Amino acid sequence: MSAVAVLKIGSTTTSLLVAKSLSTPLAFEQYVINLFEPGAEERLGNIIAYFTQIVDTLGCKRRIAAGGQALREFPNLRNPFDRWHWALWLPDGSMEGRLSWFALKAQEPEMDWLLDIGGGSTELASAKRTISLPIGAATPNTAVDWPEDIHAEAPYVIGGTAHAVSILAGRPIIQLATVKRLAREMKDNPKRLEFMDSMRRKVFPQGLAVIGEVMEHYRWSEVRYSPHGFLEGIWLAASLGRIDGLGGLKA
Going by pLDDT thresholds of 50, 70 and 90, the confidence category of residue 250 is low
- How confident is the model at residue 116, as a pLDDT? 95
Q: How does pLDDT run across 18-70, given as a tens digit for each residue? A: 999 998 999 999 998 889 889 999 999 999 999 999 999 999 999 999 998 88
Q: What is the pLDDT averaged over residues 81-91?
A: 92
- How confident is the model at residue 249, as a pLDDT? 52
Task: Tell me the CA distances in angstroms from 97 to 91, 92, 101, 208, 220, one per residue in order.
Answer: 10, 9, 6, 19, 20
| Average pLDDT, rounded, for the chain | 90
Residue range(s) occupied by CATH 3.30.420.40 in the chain: 4-92+232-239
Distance in angstroms (rounded) separating the CA atoms of residues 233 and 101: 8
Backbone angles phi, psi at 217, to 5 degrees: -60, -40
- How confident is the model at residue 199, as a pLDDT? 78
Q: What is the pLDDT averaged over residues 159-165?
A: 92
Q: What is the pLDDT averaged over residues 73-88?
A: 93
Q: Please tell me the pTM assigned to this model.
A: 0.85
Distance in angstroms (rounded) separating the CA atoms of residues 85 and 32: 22
Is a pLDDT exceeding 60 seen at residue 243? yes
When computed from its CA atoms, the radius of gyration of the chain, rounded to whole angstroms, is: 18
DSSP 248: P
- How confident is the model at residue 251, as a pLDDT? 44
Distance in angstroms (rounded) separating the CA atoms of residues 187 and 64: 41
- How confident is the model at residue 245, as a pLDDT? 46
Q: What percent of the chain has pLDDT over 70?
A: 96
Q: What is the pLDDT averaged over residues 156-175?
A: 94
Is a pLDDT exceeding 80 seen at residue 197? no
Backbone angles phi, psi at 59, to 5 degrees: 70, 30
**Fold of the CATH domain 93-225:** Nucleotidyltransferase; domain 5 (3.30.420)
Q: What is the pLDDT averaged over residues 221-244?
A: 89
Q: What is the pLDDT averaged over residues 70-81?
A: 92
- How confident is the model at residue 123, as a pLDDT? 94
Q: In CATH, what number does 4-92+232-239 get? A: 3.30.420.40
Which range among 117-126, 146-155, 182-191, 238-247 shows the weakest confidence by mean pLDDT? 238-247
Q: What is the pLDDT averaged over residues 189-195?
A: 77
Count of other CB atoms within 10 angstroms of residue 106 = 13
Which range among 114-128, 153-167, 192-206 shows the weakest confidence by mean pLDDT? 192-206
Contacts of 37 (CB under 8 A, 6+ apart): none
- How confident is the model at residue 246, as a pLDDT? 42
Residue range(s) occupied by CATH 3.30.420.150 in the chain: 93-225
